[in-house]
Amino acid sequence: MTKPSLLELPPGVQLVYLAEGGANVIYRFVSAPLKSLEKEPKRPLSPVAIDSLENRAVPASFKGKLLRLRKETAANQSYKEIVQNFNNIVRPLFKPEELVDQTLIRLPEGLIQRCNELLHIDELNGKRPKKRHGGYLCLNEPFGLLITDMTTADDPNATLAELKPKWLIQSPSAPTSARRCRTCALREMKNHEARRLGQKEQRSFCPLDLVSERLDSVLRATGFIKGCNDRHRLARILHRNPTLQKLQSQQKSRREVGLLGPPAQSQEMSLDMTLRDCTMFIKIPRDEMSAVEIRLGDLDLKTGAGGKAKYWRDLENNLIDGGWYHGFNSQGPSECALQRGQI
pLDDT, tens only, 77-112: 899 999 999 999 999 999 999 999 999 999 999 999
The C-alpha atoms of residue 100 and residue 217 are separated, in whole angstroms, by 27
In a domain, 210, yes or no: yes
In a domain, 343, yes or no: no
Same domain flag for 313 and 178: yes
Report the domain count for the chain.
2
pLDDT-derived band at 43, boundaries 50, 70, 90: very low
**Helices 231-238 & 215-222 angle (0-180, nearest 10):** 130
CA 211 to chain centre: 19
Of 167, 164, 145, 148, give the one whose Cα is nearest residue 293. 148
Of 85, 114, 148, which marks where a domain is finished?
Answer: 148
Same domain flag for 51 and 178: no
Q: Of how many residues is the chain composed? A: 343
Pairing of the two strands 7-8 and 102-106: parallel
Same domain flag for 62 and 93: yes
Strand partners, 120: none
Same domain flag for 252 and 306: yes
The structure's pTM equals 0.89
pLDDT above 50 for 226: yes
What sign does the dihedral 228-229-233-239 (CA atoms) show? positive
In a domain, 338, yes or no: no
Same domain flag for 207 and 308: yes
Same domain flag for 110 and 215: no
pLDDT above 70 for 316: yes
The tens digit of pLDDT for each residue in 137-181 reads 999 999 999 999 999 998 999 999 999 999 999 999 999 999 999
In a domain, 337, yes or no: no
Same domain flag for 277 and 244: yes
Same domain flag for 178 and 113: no
Confirm if 53 and 37 have CB atoms less than 8 A apart.
no
Domain that holds residue 170: 159-321
In a domain, 94, yes or no: yes
Q: What is the 3-state secondary structure (H, E, C) of 182-248?
A: HHHHHHHHHHHHHHHCCCCCCCCCCHHHHCCCCHHHHHHHHCCCCCCCCHHHHHHHHCCCHHHHHHH
Instruction: Collect all residues with Cβ–Cβ distance below 8 Å to 78 and sequence separation of at least 6.
Output: 70, 141, 143
Same domain flag for 284 and 263: yes
Q: What is the mean pLDDT of residues 206-212?
A: 97
Same domain flag for 163 and 309: yes
Same domain flag for 176 and 72: no
Q: What is the mean pLDDT of residues 17-43?
A: 71
Q: Dihedrals φ, ψ of 17, to 5°? A: -55, 130
In a domain, 312, yes or no: yes
pLDDT for residue 162: 96
Strand partners, 70: 24
In a domain, 339, yes or no: no
Q: Angle 294-162-165 (CA atoms, 0-180°, nearest 5)?
A: 85
What is the CATH classification number for the domain harbouring 21?
3.30.200
Confirm if 46 and 127 have CB atoms less than 8 A apart.
yes
The tens digit of pLDDT for each residue in 240-276 reads 999 999 999 999 999 889 887 656 567 788 899 999 9
Virtual torsion, Cα 146, 150, 155, 159, nearest 10 deg: -170
Q: Could you give the percent of the chain with pLDDT greater than 90?
A: 73
Same domain flag for 201 and 130: no
Beta strands in the chain (DSSP E): 7-8, 14-20, 24-30, 65-70, 102-106, 143-148, 159-163, 279-284, 293-297
Q: Dihedrals φ, ψ of 95, to 5°? A: -75, 150
